[in-house]
Structure 1
Amino acid sequence: MAQKARKDRAKSNSATLNNLHVGSLVVTVLFLALHFLYRSRSLFLWFILSLPSFICQAFLEYSGRPSYDPETKALRKSGEDLAAAGLTEYMFDVIWVTWVTTVLVALFGNGAWFLWAIVPAYGAYKGFGMFSAAKQMAAGMGGAGAGAPDGAPVGNRKQRRAAA
């Protein structure tokens, strides 16, 4: 049963990565075609602001691509789950926001690059939320060791009996 799950994940990861690379190719070709044929857009900004997307794609390719034994064609590694929540999800978000921004820049001009500011703003928002949660947890843990509100010592039953 576990082998079937690994094969299903490998198949899903391969399809996801292939769709990701085709989407990236389409967006890149569209941008470059409109840049060279219709209106000049900033290639420097495109490269710099697309770099995080390319890095995320490379990381997802490295961690999610299944590997097979070259001789027996047996599944060696199914790859990490690309449908997982958390960092993987955020990497896909960075890629999709970059794609939308690139298409809007190709259609409407270099001013649309400011839309890409959503990515660091969202990262700062999530980071601030995590920092606040960690700060509250640390404050809660610091107050727990001080003792109960009525002055009784905190500890296991044996310690409480000895203190009484």
Structure 2
Amino acid sequence: MAQKAAKSLAARNTALLTRTHLITISIHTIYLVLHFLINRPRSLKPYILLGLPTLIIEYYLDRIGRPRYSEDGTSLKTAGEDLNATGLTEYMWDVLYWTQGCIVAVCIFNDRAWWLWVVVPIYSVYLAYTTVMGVKRGFAGMGGGGGAEGEGGEVPLSKTQAKREKRGDRMKRGRA
């Protein structure tokens, strides 16, 4: 059963990588044809500066996700990493697709469309902030319940307890 899962992962990774490589080749070819053959103001500096990291990312994803077969080519040695994994792999796909979209926008409009790429660092800062705040919130609850107590060492009331107390049904408040 495990071999079947590995074979399906290998097939899925191969299809995804093939499709990604074809799209990348097509987009970069169109950009370069428009740059060199049609006299429209396009600069190669932002193209190289912003396109090269995505080519490196694509190469890395190919290295970790490409299935490996035995010498005779019949049996599967490794299926490669799951390219649909969350976390850093998902972020790399986001950067890759966003840059491809920016290249298409530059082909359609002009070099000002490279400013769309500014979304990537902003998104990175947002992800880092939410991660740090999530970790901070997680560590806040590990202090032995120190943050959950009210004034005077009393445990705060739940909504139901607060409603009953407001109506006049007095309940005993717990002490920590």
- Using the size of structure 2 for normalisation, the TM-score is 0.79
Structure 2: gaps spanning 5 or more residues: 155-176
Name the CA distance, whole Å, in 2 between partners of 1:10 and 1:69: 14
How far residue 55 of structure 1 moved from its aligned partner, in angstroms, is 1.8
Name the CA distance, whole Å, in 2 between partners of 1:65 and 1:28: 22
Contact 2:98–2:117 (Cα < 8 Å) also in 1: yes
Q: Which amino acid aligns with 1:80?
A: E
Q: Which amino acid aligns with 2:3?
A: Q
The residue number in structure 1 matching 2:134 is 133
Equivalent position SS for 1:137: helix
The residue number in structure 2 matching 1:24 is 24
Deviations 1:101-154 (A, max 9, x none): 00111221110000011111111101100111112222322x217699559xxx
Q: Which has the higher helix share?
A: 1
Structure 1: gaps spanning 5 or more residues: 152-164
Name the CA distance, whole Å, in 1 between partners of 2:57 and 2:146: 45
CA-based RMSD? 1.9
Name the CA distance, whole Å, in 2 between partners of 1:110 and 1:130: 34
Whose RCO is larger (CA < 8 A, sep 6+)?
A: 1
Name the CA distance, whole Å, in 1 between partners of 2:148 and 2:89: 42
Indicate how the Cα distance of structure 1 residues 122 and 46 shifts in structure 2: closer, same or farther if over 3 A, else same. same
Name the CA distance, whole Å, in 1 between partners of 2:94 and 2:112: 21
The residue number in structure 2 matching 1:82 is 83
How far residue 81 of structure 1 moved from its aligned partner, in angstroms, is 0.8
Contact 1:52–1:94 (Cα < 8 Å) also in 2: no
- Using the size of structure 1 for normalisation, the TM-score is 0.84
Name the CA distance, whole Å, in 2 between partners of 1:144 and 1:52: 45
Greater C-alpha radius of gyration: 2
Deviates further, 95-104 or 132-141: 132-141
Name the CA distance, whole Å, in 1 between partners of 2:42 and 2:76: 44
- How many residue pairs get aligned? The number is 150
Q: Which amino acid aligns with 2:61?
A: L
Name the CA distance, whole Å, in 1 between partners of 2:148 and 2:24: 58
Contact 1:41–1:109 (Cα < 8 Å) also in 2: yes
